[in-house]
Structure formats: C-alpha cells, structure tokens
Amino acid sequence: MTRRFFSKSLYWSDAALKALSFLALGTGVSFLLLMIVFVLRESSLGSGFTMNLFDFLVRDPWAPMATPPSHGIFHAWISTLVITGLSLLLAIPLGFGIGLFLSEVAPRWVQQVMQPALELLAGIPAVVYGFFGYVTLVRNFEVWFDMPAGECLLIAGLILAVMVLPFVASTAAEAFRSVAQELREMAYGLGVTQLYVMRRVLFRKALPGLFAAVALGLARALGETLAVLMLAGNTVAVPHSLLERGQPLTALLATELGETVVNSAKYQALFASGFILLIVVLGINAVIWILKHHFLERSHA
C-alpha cells in the first residue's frame, strides 16, 4: 500500500473522488443501458406482443383507425430504405471525392477553409434542413413536376444526402490521410499518375476507413427524423416511385407517439419499430467501432 504514505484525510479525499467518479460513470452508463431495456419492455416484443412478426414487418398495412385496427410497418421501413439508399448513393461518391480532395489535392489553405465549412454543414439542425428543403425544393417541385403537394421521397433523400455528406467526407478524408506516406512516395517513384495511386493504392489501403465512413453515413441517415418528417410527405401508403410520398420509420414514430394510448397495440407497435431501429443502429455503430480499432492498430503497425 503506497497510500499509507499520505495522511488519513488526504487518503480519504482521494478515495472519495475515485468512488464518486466511478458512481458518476455507472449512473450515466446504466441510464443509457436502461434506454435499451425500457424501449424493449414497452414494445413487449419478448412477451405478449399481439402481432405475428411477419405480419408486423411485411403483410399488414398501418391502419390504426380501421376495424379491426392493424399496425404493420411495411410502408415505413420501405420508405426508410428508399430515402436512406438514395441519400447514400449521392453522398458516398461526393463524400469520397471530397475526402480525396482534402487529403491529396487541396492546398493547405483550402483545407483550412473546407474543414470548418464541413463542420458548419454538420452543425445545422435537422429541423432547419427540413425547413430549407421545404422552402426551396418542395415549392419548386410542385411547379416542375406538376404535383398537388411537393413532398416526396426524392426531396427527403436529396436533403438527407446533404446532411450525411459532412460525416462521410470527413471520415473518408481521415481514412485517406492515414495511409502511410511511404506508399505514396514509392508509387510516385515508380512513375505512375496520381489517379493510379489513388485507385490502386489509397483506395485499397483506406478501405476499412472508407467502410466506416459509409457505415457512419448509414447510421445517421437511418435515424434522421425531423427533416424526413417534414419532407417525405407522411402518408401511410406504400410508395412506388421516388416522386410519391412516404413515411419513414422515424417519421412514423414522431407522428403517432403523441396521440397513442399507453400500452395499446399501437403503442407496442411503435416501440417495437423503435427497438428495431435502435438495434440496427447499435449494430452499425459496433461495426464502425471495430473497423476504427482494427484500422488504428493496422496503421500503427
């Protein structure tokens, strides 16, 4: 015991700080874990969930007012998939491009301007993106495509792409930057072009980091609420084209929760969809974490 070295009061103040800090950590983390348990509990997925899982996910429509009411979420996860897919389709190439630009091409002063610009983009709240999309795209879509109301999956996807872009871009830039400088020099020394180096060396070496960038964008896009709530149109029909309206999972939750009787079948269905979303995002985050560590260990080696 080295601690005997100190006077008693000093020893106790140190021990108290240690105990208190452990208590603080425990409190915070256990409330976070309680969140998972409680959302699961409210969904009663483990016991007494009134629906067949297949009906819930695929077969039944969302019709809580019908007799008998039915609470399928097929339309919601289809909308989520379409919007998320579209946004990543746009954000990944552009984000990788920006990442390469920042790490390989941009002069120092351009990098110093771009970094805060991307942080600005990431700092704009979702509801402001929704509003921005509404006053710019939705109104114009009504004119361009002769639609009675302009909200549609396409607009939601476009705005969502802008929202996830800074996350994809900065993670990609980090991935490219962490490729060892010797590899670049070696390749250039062999007399190949910059394009060749990027394609054959950087992309391969940065692959885990790029994958993490995609996963990060995916997790962001899946959970985004306010923007898609305002832009996707919020109808319970299953969408058949990008110009139709839809209702992603998060929008379904935000629309319905406030007017749902606690512990009713609808309430359970909402929490079950929330739990599914939670688990999917947690899974993606776990993958990101593993990639990041794998990646760090490799680049140190």
Window 239 to 268, contacts with other proteins (CB under 8 A):
250, 253-254, 257-258, 262
What character string, x for contact with other proteins (CB under 8 A) and - otherwise, covers 265-284?
A: -----xx--x--xx--xx--
Among 33, 58, 63, 207, binds other proteins (CB under 8 A): 33
**Contacting range for other proteins; rule: CB under 8 A; set: 10-18, 58-66, 73-81, 200-208:** 10-18
What character string, x for contact with other proteins (CB under 8 A) and - otherwise, covers 82-101?
A: ------------x--xx-xx
| Cβ at position 175, least distance to other proteins in Å | 15
CB closer to other proteins, 54 vs 286: 286
| Cβ at position 290, least distance to other proteins in Å | 9
| Cβ at position 66, least distance to other proteins in Å | 24
What is the rounded distance in angstroms from the CA atom of residue 227 to the CA atom of residue 195?
37
Answer yes or no whether residue 40 interacts with other proteins by CB under 8 A. no
Binders of other proteins in range 121-140 (CB under 8 A):
121, 123-128, 130-132, 134-136
Binders of other proteins in range 207-236 (CB under 8 A):
216, 219-220, 222-226, 229-230
Binders of other proteins in range 51-80 (CB under 8 A):
none
**Contacting range for other proteins; rule: CB under 8 A; set: 34-42, 47-55, 58-66, 202-210:** 34-42
CB closer to other proteins, 59 vs 199: 199
Among 67, 148, 189, 301, binds other proteins (CB under 8 A): 189
What character string, x for contact with other proteins (CB under 8 A) and - otherwise, covers 158-177?
A: ----x--x---x--------
Burial bucket for residue 124 (CB in 10 Å: 0-12, 13-18, 19+): middle
Answer yes or no whether residue 149 interacts with other proteins by CB under 8 A. no
What is the rounded distance in angstroms from the CA atom of residue 100 to the CA atom of residue 56?
43
Among 102, 153, 154, 206, binds other proteins (CB under 8 A): 102
CA distances from 188 to 101, 207, 227 (A): 18, 20, 45
Longest dimension (CA), the chain: 82
What is the rounded distance in angstroms from the CA atom of residue 301 to the CA atom of residue 40?
41
Can you say how many angstroms the Cα of residue 157 is from the centroid of all Cα atoms in its chain? 13
Q: Do 66 and 79 contact (CB within 8 A), yes or no?
A: no
